[in-house]
Structure 1
């Protein structure tokens, strides 16, 4: 089976798509104005929004649920998320009020400006979701495996796609801090419990995948063990 990995968006807020002969799985859904860039990225590989078979959310924050509801309501695409983040994603519980761990004016303004241009003020919460569980292998293109890594949020998930040699970590880590511009692997800002994130990430240490993708920042080229070793030096 042919498997292609698309990176959509940018290092400020990234979306990823797993494209196979069976269709497309979207990993996270960006911001509410991102439907156009997703459509364009799929068109470039001969696909359309109707080829999306499911959206898998790494967690329920507003800059990850973006166009999920549009895809569900207009194209019948199911939305999957760990149960512990269901209320956050649907808006049944209020948005988190976690304070940043540091910031610099330039990078912080760039983050805010990019977010505004991509619809960051118009959060559209999914009205229907499918709760996934730790250890699930979803019947979607790429057969994504779900690994619970609570810490950034209670329902944060790592999404493992062995067919693409890829591991998606959402906001458990960042390789480009959105508020300081700092490069390199580190725990992401706005986390509920950074210490718990470090413990959760140890579950991934023995995984063989060599392409690791955060929700913010460029790809980390290396295994989870190499990532964890780098995090240990920060």
Structure 2
């Protein structure tokens, strides 16, 4: 789904234990470079390549992958992407996420053995042997990557220890990762059931104060484009009251 010029929200589909699910990585590009924010579950490389082709962006143009955090549905297809690219693609993440992404520590929200047994075999395999891949460069709060008009990292911990969101400065698009969701036509705060530290996650929403996005992309729920500025401000006001 086209967000604005040079920004596409990908819609990756999977069949989960609770029915169909949609995951929404963000593709940003210009004449030289393409940047992918998050990578879906394992096995979604083909969907990503097809979505890039449909957007008119050759897979060979991919220069970097930015991971908002370590969760399986965000890092899942990273190893396959790096293998298919054959080099030349750098991976960015926050330092607190690096050991989990690289496999030095088990994923923060790995399921306990009892829960694993209740999952379908293919899902069980993902959690039992999560993907891992290198992180080339570490992102700091406020750092601006010199791609596609500037991509600013915003440190928004809570969902995980080192969760980040991204602001596309030239396009005025906020990519939230899992810092918030879009549901029932409205921006909403972090989902407690899948959030490591709810209190910190709610406090992190204030890091978006002062932004005036024309669109907000949530990894779960998708694109908020209608009254995005007003919706974001309303969410921040509600969060400040908690």
Question: Which of the five TM-score ranges fits, normalised by the shorter chain?
Answer: 0.7 to 0.9
Distance 1:25 1:232 in 2: 33
Shift of 1:3: 2.2
User: What residue number does 1:103 align with?
Assistant: none
The 8 Å contact of residues 100 and 107 in structure 2, kept in 1 or not, is answered as yes
User: What residue number does 1:138 align with?
Assistant: 145
Matched, 1:9 2:12: yes
Shift of 1:26: 0.4
User: What residue number does 2:96 align with?
Assistant: 84
Distance 1:121 1:213 in 2: 30
Deviation track 1:41-84 (CA, whole Å, cap 9, x = no partner) reads 11113322211111111111111012222222332211100111
Q: Which runs of 5+ in 1 are unaligned?
A: 100-108
Shift of 1:232: 6.3
Structure 2 length normalisation: TM-score?
Answer: 0.78
Alpha-carbon RMSD across the aligned residues, in angstroms, is 3.0
Matched, 1:65 2:75: yes
The DSSP-based 3-state class of the residue aligned with 2:205 is: helix
The DSSP-based 3-state class of the residue aligned with 1:12 is: strand
Matched, 1:164 2:171: yes
Distance 1:214 1:184 in 2: 9
Shift of 1:135: 1.3
Distance 1:46 1:12 in 2: 22
Distance of aligned partners of 1:90 and 1:123 in 2 relative to their CA distance in 1, 3 Å threshold: same
The DSSP-based 3-state class of the residue aligned with 1:141 is: coil
Distance of aligned partners of 1:20 and 1:48 in 2 relative to their CA distance in 1, 3 Å threshold: same
Match of 1:36 among 46, 62, 68: 46
Distance 2:201 2:153 in 1: 16
The 8 Å contact of residues 54 and 79 in structure 1, kept in 2 or not, is answered as yes
The 8 Å contact of residues 158 and 201 in structure 2, kept in 1 or not, is answered as yes
Match of 1:93 among 77, 90, 105: 105
Q: Which runs of 5+ in 2 are unaligned?
A: 14-20, 112-117
Distance 1:16 1:207 in 2: 19
Distance 2:34 2:128 in 1: 27
Distance of aligned partners of 1:98 and 1:65 in 2 relative to their CA distance in 1, 3 Å threshold: closer
Distance of aligned partners of 1:72 and 1:98 in 2 relative to their CA distance in 1, 3 Å threshold: closer
The 8 Å contact of residues 165 and 175 in structure 2, kept in 1 or not, is answered as yes
Q: How does 1:179-218 map to 2 (within 5 A)?
A: 185-188=188-191, 189-218=193-222
Aligned length: 216
Structure 1 length normalisation: TM-score?
Answer: 0.80
